[in-house]
Every structure is written in structure tokens, then in C-alpha cells.
Amino acid sequence: MKFSEQLRKKVDSIWNASFEHPFVTGVADGSLPIECFNYYVQQDSFYLSKFAQVQSIGAAKALDFHTTSQMAFHAKSTFDAEHMLHEGFAKDLGLEKNSEGHMAVEAAPTAVAYTNHLFSVAYKGSLGEVIAAILPCYWLYWEIGEKYKGSTPGHPVYQKWIDTYGDEWFATLVKEQIDRLDEWAEKASDEEKHRMEAIFVTSSKYEYMFWEMSYTLEKWPV
């Protein structure tokens, strides 16, 4: 069994909870209150601005020029996807970017915690650990896109979201990072693979928390 397959099996119950979260099912069937999706778009804009930075740190940690180039390409792809998808959402939903280039008026506690987790791994860990940290975001969204492909939510914004993550261009990016994780794991020590597993699980939990944050319009308590 490949290392990626071991990780996917490890987080199966966590990902199933994401698949069935009312935010995700609400997008698929069109029942999600639009204010929840507005909040998600704002927070995801903040998240992706940090995600691209973590991908860029990963590029600097690569051990060969090709991997550096590909990780940098992924960072650029995150920007392009954010621009393509979220800019479209912003127009449809009447949202505007702030001076930092994202749409969140204030980053929610979960968004801050998740991105801090990614930065902690990026600055302290290897490229393999960086990929383990960011891969759940790629992979989970791809599986959601596949699971709910063909859904007809009856709302153009929700339809666009589902179609984006079920598209083949996104699948190609995901599969590339899965392969890169497996290549790194082949040479990694047992200790490093244990760290990679723990990091992957933590990011998977944060992905679930991101749905919950958006669904409940999470705010700072003080």
C-alpha cells in the first residue's frame, strides 16, 4: 500500500464527516443559506492567500530544480484559481477585497489557527511535511467535487463551486501532489513519515473545522 493510501485510510472517518457536513451538502442541494457561503468565500480568500505562501516555502525546500518549479507553479495556480473563482464569487455576491488582497474583514479563529498550523510546518519541516500539510485541502476538495458531480443546487454560485472541484484540471494538480508525497515517503525515515501522518491528520481535522466555521459564522468570543 502506498503511503498516500495509508494516510487516506487513516482519515476516512474525518473526511466522511466533511462529505456529510451541512455546509457541503447544503451547497450540493442548494439549501445552504447564502450568508454562510459569503462568509466561507471571505475566509477562504484569506486562507488561500496564506496557502500560496506555504506552497512557495515548499518550493524553496525542494531538493531539485524541477520540484521547485512545480511547487512554484502550484502557488501560481492557487493565485489563478483564487482570482478566477473568488473574483467571480465576489462580483456575484457583492464582496470586495481589502488592502491585504483578500476579502475577509477579519480572519476567523479557525482560519487563523489552520494557516498558523501550515506556516509552522512550512518553516520547521521538510518538503514532505509541507506536502502532507497542504495535501488534504487539495485532495478532499477533489473528492467532494467527484462525489457531488452532477448535483443541481439551483444556484449559479453553488454550481460553479461544485463544477470547479470536479474538473479535470484540478484532478491533475491533486494527483501530482499525491505522487510527490509518495516519492518523498519512499526515502523518508520512519520518524519523518510518522510526523507526516500526524500533520496530514491535523490538516484534515482543520478542513472539517473550516466547514463548521463557515456554517456557524464563527467569530472571536471577545
Q: What is the 3-state secondary structure (H, E, C) of the chain?
A: CCHHHHHHHHCHHHHHHHHCCHHHHHHHHCCCCHHHHHHHHHHHHHHHHHHHHHHHHHHHHCCCHHHHHHHHHHHHHHHHHHHHHHHHHHHHHCCCCCCCCCCCCCCCHHHHHHHHHHHHHHHHCCHHHHHHHHHHHHHHHHHHHHHCCCCCCCCHHHHHHHHHHCCHHHHHHHHHHHHHHHHHHHHCCHHHHHHHHHHHHHHHHHHHHHHHHHHHCCCCCC
**Do the domain assignments include residue 202?**
yes
- pLDDT for residue 100: 55
**Do the domain assignments include residue 221?**
no
Angle among Cα 136, 48, 54 to the nearest 5 degrees reads 70
Task: Determine contact, residues 217/35, Cβ cutoff 8 Å.
Answer: yes
**Do the domain assignments include residue 38?**
yes
For residue 7, what are the domain limits?
3-91+102-215
36 catalytically annotated = no
Q: Which residue has the higher pLDDT, 115 or 52?
A: 115
**Do the domain assignments include residue 165?**
yes
Render pLDDT for 131-152 as a digit per residue (tens, 0 to 9).
Answer: 999 999 989 999 999 999 999 9
pLDDT at 167 over 90: no
**Do the domain assignments include residue 139?**
yes
- pLDDT for residue 78: 66
Task: Determine contact, residues 201/11, Cβ cutoff 8 Å.
Answer: yes
CA distance 112 to 154: 32
- pLDDT for residue 72: 78
pLDDT at 101 over 60: no
Q: Which of the four pLDDT bands, split at 50, 70 and 90, describes residue 104?
A: low
- pLDDT for residue 74: 67
Q: Identify the CATH number of the domain in which residue 109 sits.
A: 1.20.910.10
Give the total number of structural domains in the chain: 1
Render pLDDT for 12-63 as a digit per residue (tens, 0 to 9).
Answer: 999 999 999 999 999 999 999 999 999 999 899 899 889 989 988 988 887 7
Among residues 82, 137, 186, 218, which one is catalytic?
Answer: 137
Among residues 129, 176, 207, 212, which one is catalytic?
Answer: 207
137 catalytically annotated = yes
